[in-house]
Amino acid sequence: MRHWDLSSLDVEAHEPIVLTSVRGEARSIALRLPAGEALQDHQVHERAHVVVVAGEVEVSRDGETVAGGPGLFVVFDPGERHEVRAVTEARLLLVLAPWPGEGHPGARD
């Protein structure tokens, strides 16, 4: 068993920590976004699960915005464009599955 206390994990801004990464299964990443910064409009090859651990964020997709704090859980389909913006400094858990997703450069053998 491996475990982390996501609320106290020492994560620096702009330096995400890969907690786990198992090819064919999932990749879990802890990250910190300073207030006002964002994971700007982007998309990934995998299904993206975003959990707010601390702080407040706004999550946008196709003109729809959801705001929330600790406990907010948002899921994006593979290839779905989205943005996550920190209203206050925020800690997030990002889970990408399956890892790597179809079309991801790392999926090539």
What CATH number did the domain enclosing 58 receive?
2.60.120.10
Query: Is the backbone of residue 45 left (phi > 0), alpha (psi -120 to 50) or beta?
Result: alpha
Q: Is residue 91 assigned to a domain?
A: yes
Q: Is residue 109 assigned to a domain?
A: no
Model pLDDT for residues 3-54, shown as the tens digit of each residue = 999 999 999 999 999 999 999 899 999 999 999 999 887 788 899 999 999 9
Residues forming beta bridges with residue 81, ordered by sequence position = none
**Residue 57, domain extent:** 28-101
**Predicted TM-score (pTM) of this structure:** 0.87
Q: Is residue 88 assigned to a domain?
A: yes
Q: Is residue 37 assigned to a domain?
A: yes
Q: Is residue 4 assigned to a domain?
A: no
Q: Is residue 76 assigned to a domain?
A: yes
The whole-angstrom separation of Cα 69 and Cα 50 is: 12
Q: Is residue 64 assigned to a domain?
A: yes
